[in-house]
Chains A and B, each alone.
Chain A
Amino acid sequence: MNKKITISPVTRIEGHARVTIFLNDEGKVDEAYLHIDQFRGFEKFSEGRYFAEMPIITPRICGICPVSHHLASAKATDDILGVDIPRPAKLLRELIHMGQIIQSHSMHFFELAGPDLILGWDADPRIRNVAGLIQANPELALKAVKLRRFGQRIIELVAGRRIHPTFAIPGGVNQAFDPKSRDEILKGIDEMISYVEDGISIATKYIEDNKEVCDKFASFPTGYMGLVKDDGSLELYDGKIRFMDKDGNVVKDFKDKYYLKYIGERVEDWSYLKFPYYKPLGWPEGVYRVGPLGRLNVVDKISTPIANEHLKNFKKINDGKPVEGSLYFHYARLIEAIYGLERAREILEDPECLSKDVLISGKVSNEEGIGVIEAPRGTLIHHYWVDEKGTIEKVNLIVATGHNNWAMSKSVENVAKGFIDGKNLTEGMLNRVEGAIRCYDPCLSCSTHAIGKMPLLIELYDSNGNLINFVKRD
C-alpha cells in the first residue's frame, strides 16, 4: 500500500492549496499533485452589475495585484464601449501597471525567494524567513522596502490611491497627471534600478554556484505564452498574445479577442481550478507556462536597454531555447522589474503623459468586452458579456495562477521525486516542494485571509493510512 503525504488546507475558502504526495513501499515518491481549492465565485458575484462598476469591483479579487485586475477590467469595458482610448490615458494606465510590476516583483524576490536563495533551502526555518534576512543583510531588506514603496508611490501619485484605485474608467482615466508627481518619480528611478541590480547579482551568483540545481529543479518542457509588441519585444499592458511550443518555435501570434479560439480549459476532478491549454495542440500537449519565465521565453527582445542586456544573458542559459527550470522565474522576475523601471521613465519623459486628453466618451456598443494584460504573475484575461443597457450577464476570468496550474502541479511532482525521501523526511525537503510552487508566485490566498486560515498543512501517512507526522504553515 502506498504512503501518502498531504499538504492540505483546513477549509476550502478561496486561497487554499493542498499538496498530496504518494509514496511507494520503498519510501520513494510515486506521484504528486497540487490541488487548488479556489472557487471562481467572483464571476457569479459580478453578474447583474453595471459594466462600468467592474474596474472597481474586480480589484477586490486580489489585495496584492489589484491594479492588474483594475486595468484588465478597464480594458474590457473600453471594448464594450467600442472605443480606442486617448494615448495619454494609455500611458498613464501603463505607468501604474509598471508601478505594480516593480513592487510585486521586487517584494517577491526579496521577501519570498530571498530566504531560500540567500539563507539556504536547509537553513533552520526559525531563521529562514524575513527576520533572518533582515539580520543577515539589513541593507538589502531596506532596499526591498524602498523598492516596494517606490512602486506603490507611482500608483498613489498617478491614480490617487495605492490600494484599490478607481483611476481607470471606461474610455480612459479620471484624472490627468501633474508635473510635480512626474518629477518625483523620475528622480528615484536610477536608485531603484541599482537596487534591482543588487538582486540580479544575488540571483546570478546563486545560478552560477548552483547551475545543476537550477537546470534540474522543476524543469520540464512546456509551451509558453505572453503578450508581445508587433516587433516581438516584451509587452505588459497591450499587444498580441504569443504562443511558443516546447522547442521554442513561435506557433501563433493572435489578437486577444480570439483567446477562446486558442485557449481551452480542462477540468480535473482533483482540483477546483481549471487547467488551461493551447487548443490547437490539444491536451496535454498544449500545456504552457505564463509569467516572467513564460514572457521572457516568448519575446525576441526587450525595448529598454538595461533589461535587454539582461535578457541576452537569460537567453544564453539554454542556448536560445526555452529556459525550463522553474528557479529561473526568479531571475526573469528581476529582469522584468528593471524593464518596469525603464519603461516608467520612458513614459514619464513622454510629454503626452501630462496631457489632459485622458478620456473619450461612448455608449454601450458591443455585447462583449475583452481585456487582457500581463499581470506580474502572468496573462490575465477579463471577458464580460452585457445586455443592451450594459448590465453584466456573464463573466469569464482566467488568472495567471490558472494558466500555470498544470505546471505548478508538475513542478511539485518533479521536485518531490527529486528530493523527498519518505523514510527520512526533513523540513528542508518539504521546503523545496513549497519552493517549487513559490517560483510561480501564485495568487492563492489573496481574497480572504482571516485569522485561523492555514495555507498549508503537511501530513505524512504510513502505509496503513495512519497520520505519523505533520507540519503546519500559518
Chain B
Amino acid sequence: MLKETNKTVLVGFGNEYRKDDGLGIRLLDLIDEKISKIKIQELSIDILDDIKDFETVIFVDAALEGEDINLRKIEKEPKFSPLTHHLSPEELLIWAENINKKNYEFYLLSIKGYDFDFGEEPSEEGKKNLLKAKDFLLKFLKEH
C-alpha cells in the first residue's frame, strides 16, 4: 500500500522514438498503483501548474552514464542553459518554489540507457534496468 500518494507525482520524460531515451516514460506505464503521472518529452516550466497541488515530485529519466538505476534528492542549483529551452530538475525546483510559493521535495530517478538511436523498442539492457527501476520505485514509494 502506498502512503500519501495523492501528494506525490511521477514525471517521466524522454523521447519514446529514441529507444532508451524513452525509459523514463516507459517506467510510468509499468507502475499500476494509483499515483499521479505526467509524461513529457522535455522538462520545461509548463509543468509548474501540473505539480502545484503536490508536495513530492519524482522525475524519471534515462541516463547515459552511471549505475543501472540511481535515485537522488534534488537540491536547488541554477544551471544556466546556454542553448536550449530544456530545464534541469535543479532549475525547475527554483522556478517551482518561486512561482508556486511552496516548498517541494524533488527526486530524480535515473535509469541507465545504452542505445539512443532512432527506434521505438528499448535495448535489452535498457529493458532490464527498467524492471529494476520499477521494483526500486515501488519500494521507495511504500517506504517514503
Contact = CB atoms under 8 A, between A and B. Distances in A.
Interface of A: 11, 13, 17, 41-42, 44-45, 57, 60, 63-64, 66, 104, 107-108, 111-112, 115, 125-132, 134, 138, 141-142, 145, 148-149, 152, 162-164, 431, 434, 437-438, 442, 444-453, 455-456, 473-474
A445 B84 contact: yes
Nearest to A164: B41
Contacts of A164: 41
Nearest to B95: A130
A281 B28 CA distance: 52
17 contacts: A63-B42, A107-B85, A112-B85, A126-B78, A127-B78, A129-B91, A131-B76, A131-B78, A134-B94, A145-B45, A149-B46, A164-B41, A449-B13, A451-B64, A451-B66, A452-B63, A455-B82
Contacts of A149: 46, 49
Interface of B: 13-18, 20-21, 39-46, 48-49, 61-66, 76, 78-86, 88, 91, 94-95, 98-99, 108, 110, 113, 116-119
A145 B48 contact: yes
Nearest to A149: B49
B99 A145 contact: yes
The B interface, classified by DSSP as helix, strand, loop or mixed, is loop
A28 B88 CA distance: 35
A453 B64 contact: yes
Contacts of A445: 83-84, 86
A129 B77 CA distance: 10
4 closest A-B pairs by CB: A63-B42, A63-B41, A452-B64, A131-B78
Most buried by A among B21, B41, B88, B110: B41
A15 B120 CA distance: 19
Contacts of A455: 81-84
Given A64-B44, A132-B78, A145-B99, A17 B83 contact: yes
A451 B63 contact: yes
Contacts of B76: 131
A163 B40 contact: yes
B45 A456 contact: no
B40 A63 contact: yes
A5 B48 CA distance: 38
B42 A449 contact: yes
Contacts of A131: 76, 78, 91, 94
Most buried by A among B65, B83, B113: B83
A66 B13 CA distance: 15
Contacts of B78: 126-127, 129-132
A45 B119 contact: yes
Contacts of A129: 78-81, 91
B86 to A, nearest CB: 5
A474 B88 contact: yes
Nearest to B91: A130
A148 B47 CA distance: 11
A411 to B, nearest CB: 13
Contacts of B85: 64, 104, 107-108, 111-112
A115 B80 contact: yes
B27 to A, nearest CB: 14
Most buried by B among A63, A437, A438: A63
A145 B96 CA distance: 11
Contacts of A473: 80, 82
Nearest to B16: A60
B71 to A, nearest CB: 12
Given A63-B42, A149-B49, 11 more contacts: A60-B16, A60-B18, A63-B44, A130-B78, A130-B91, A141-B98, A148-B44, A449-B42, A450-B20, A451-B108, A452-B63
A450 B21 contact: yes
Contacts of A112: 81-83, 85
Nearest to B20: A450
B82 A438 contact: yes
A335 to B, nearest CB: 20
A131 B79 CA distance: 9
Contacts of B81: 111-112, 129, 455
Given A41-B117, A126-B78, A131-B94, A442 B64 contact: no
Nearest to A43: B118
Given A66-B41, A145-B99, A456 B21 contact: no
A141 B18 CA distance: 33
Given A63-B41, A112-B81, A129-B78, A450 B94 contact: no
A309 B42 CA distance: 35
A450 B64 CA distance: 6
A179 to B, nearest CB: 24
Contacts of A142: 99
Nearest to B49: A149
B16 to A, nearest CB: 7
B63 A60 contact: no
B15 A63 contact: yes
Given A63-B15, A107-B85, A163 B98 contact: no
